[in-house]
Structure 1
C-alpha cells in the first residue's frame, strides 16, 4: 500500500495515475477511437511532418538518456526505488522490442509514443525519488 503521507508515496501515486492514463490511451488506440496522423504546414504540397518516421529515433534517444542517467545516479551512489526501476526496465524492454523488431513492419506509432513518454516519466520519477533519498540521507547524518 502506498503511504500518501510521505512525499515518495505521493510521487508514486502520481506515477500510477499516469500509467493508468497511458494504458487507457493505448486501449483506445487499439480500439481505433484515437489516432495520430501526419501534421504539417500545408498537406497539399507535401510539407507534412510524419510523426511515425521520427518516433524510432526519439525512443532510442530516450533509452540512451535513461542509461546515461542511471549511470550518473550510480556514480553518485544514490539509491533508486526498485519498483519504479522494474517498471521502467519493463517499459524500456517492450519499447525497444517494438521499435527494433517492428520498425520495418510499420509498428503502430501511437503505442511507441505512449511507451516512450511513459518511460521518460518513469525515469524522471525515479530520478526525483533518488534525489529525495539522497537529501534525506544527508539530513540524517
Structure 2
C-alpha cells in the first residue's frame, strides 16, 4: 500500500498538510518498504487558500494513508473524499519509526479502517449481498 508523509526534511513527519513543502510517498508492506516518490510543492504561506490543496490531493490520491502534524478541516474533508485516511500526529516523528509501527500492525490483526485502506486500488470483491442482488436482480 502507498502511504504519504507531509515533511519538510524528508526524514520526519513535521508539517501541516496544506503548508508542507514535500510529501514523501512510500510503498509499504508488512515485510518491507521503499520510497516510491517525493512530491515538491511551492511555498504557499498560511493564507487559508484551499487552492493549494488540489495539487497535493491529486498527487497522493492513490495513497491509502496520509501522516501529518496538522491538517485543516477542509484539507481533512478533501483527503477523506479522495479515499485517504489522514493521521494527525501530536508531535513530529521520524518517517522510518512510523513505517516500523505500521508494519508491526500489518503483521498482526490490523483494525478495520486499516484493512479497508489496504484494499485501496484493488478490485473490490463482491460480498454476499452483492451476489444476491446480482443473482436475483
For the superposition of Structure 1 and Structure 2, which TM-score range results when normalised by the shorter chain? under 0.3
More strand by share: 2
Larger RCO (alpha carbons 8 Å, 6+ apart)? 1
TM-score, scaled relative to structure 1: 0.19
More helix by share: 1
Larger Rg: 1
